[in-house]
Amino acid sequence: MAEVLFVSKPVAPPWNDSSKNLVRDIAGHLRHYSPVLMGRAGQTNPIDRGRVEPVYRAQSSGGFAPSASENLGVLRRLLLGRPVDLWHFFFAPNPRSSAAGRLATAVRRIPSVHTVCSVPANGVDVRKLVFADATVALSRSAYEQFRQEGVSESALRVIPPSVPLLAEPTSLERAQLRKKHALPEAATIWIYPGDLEFGGGAEIALEGFAAWNQPDSMLLMACRRKTRQADEALCRLQARTNQWGIDPQVVWLGETPRIHELLAASDFVVMVNPAAYAKMDYPLVALESMCLARPVLVAKGTPSAELADGGGAIAVETSGEALAEAIERLSGDRAAIDAVGRKARALVASKFSPQVVAASYEVLYEELHG
């Protein structure tokens, strides 16, 4: 069976990073190719097939991005390591990583795929970031951006991200989860499960909650500290929370291993991030919320707005006022909320399952490898 080397961050716990989760789920559902994962020294294989190469050190360097020395180890593996039949890169486009990928593919002449894990920063020349035989965009929006900036359509594909289908909670299970996490049984609960320092979604969630002005409601801020700027962003946002008088209703959870339980217990998932930079086109936490049949609110004019096609999510303008208005309309219509949840879950099951996405990649592998 032909081997595919997945060139990515270490595919190892904790499972709190969308790009390595995507690698794990695609690799774990290949049927006709054998995956080779980049992992840490001494780790076990996180999937039941293929093998793991210890490209990274046993201990994490911290943060979400590998260190410079670890990245050199990846390049060393590509240039000098055991040959495989195909390379599949997973990273957000940036000049340094793309240059390394271009060098390695030129030297080793191995067919290659690059999945663009998030859209490039504004002002970057996209054509200089393309190096693989096939470049995969996760959304139509990203595909169009690459195409309009001069990347050949023949080298572009659109294959969405995937997420394992979570069990839909019953009403009783949701009530039990609220009790477990000491959440008010009758309160309307919003949750923002995004970054503090990127995208602008955290501030819009707080602005919208303040504008909604319902005293029997609660906002859960389940935010990761992704960079050194996170603490500064947290202080600024907490100051705004105090200014708006919503301190008693906002719970700052930080990063939590119970995120799926908290999503299930919440009434609305708010991800109205105006910018998709440093985030997967369709954030995996949004797809997970849709699995749980939760209404997800996303920003118009962004890749995430594509989730609203067919009613799988709700796209709103990027302002707190627009968010509050959308939730006000929904909150009085239980049937509409349930309908959004059903459509959301059905969309994830049909389009974003690991089995469907892995099969699409295997078709592409066959085109390149023959």
The C-alpha atoms of residue 256 and residue 263 are separated, in whole angstroms, by 11
pLDDT, one tens digit for every residue, the chain (370 residues): 999 999 999 999 989 889 999 999 999 999 999 999 999 999 999 999 999 999 998 876 555 678 888 999 999 999 999 999 999 999 988 889 999 999 999 999 999 999 999 887 777 788 889 999 999 999 999 999 999 999 999 999 999 999 999 999 999 999 999 999 999 999 999 999 998 887 799 999 999 999 999 999 999 999 987 778 888 999 999 999 999 999 999 999 999 999 999 999 999 999 999 987 678 999 999 999 999 999 999 999 999 999 998 789 999 999 999 999 999 999 989 899 999 999 999 999 999 999 999 999 999 999 998 7
Q: How confident is the model at residue 64, as a pLDDT?
A: 65
Helices 284-291 and 334-351: angle between axes, nearest 10 degrees: 120
| pLDDT given at position 51 | 97
Q: How far apart are CA 211 and CA 239, in angstroms?
A: 16
Q: What is the pLDDT of residue 60?
A: 62
φ/ψ of 6, rounded to 5, equals -90, 115
Side chain identity, residue 124:
V
C-beta atoms surrounding 102 within 10 Å: 16
DSSP state of 109: -
Q: Say what the pLDDT of residue 20 is.
A: 95
Please count the other Cβ atoms lying within 10 Å of the Cβ belonging to residue 165: 17
Structure tokens at 6: 């997945």
pLDDT for 229: 84
- Max CA pair span of the chain: 63
pLDDT at 61: 52
SS3 at position 54:
strand
Q: What is the pLDDT of residue 278?
A: 72
* Phi and psi based region of residue 123 (left: phi greater than 0; alpha: psi -120 to 50; beta: remaining): left
DSSP class of residue 64 equals S
* Predicted structure pTM score: 0.92
C-alpha span between 64 and 294 (Å, rounded):
27
The pair of structure tokens assigned to 69 is 């020395």
Q: Measure the CA–CA gap between 297 and 286, rounded to whole angstroms.
A: 9
DSSP-based three-state secondary structure for 85: coil
- pLDDT score recorded for residue 227: 79
Domains of the chain as residue ranges with CATH: 3-162+353-369 (3.40.50.2000), 171-351 (3.40.50.2000)
Q: Taking a C-beta distance cutoff of 8 angstroms, is the pair 220, 206 a contact?
A: no
Beta bridge partners of 251: 220
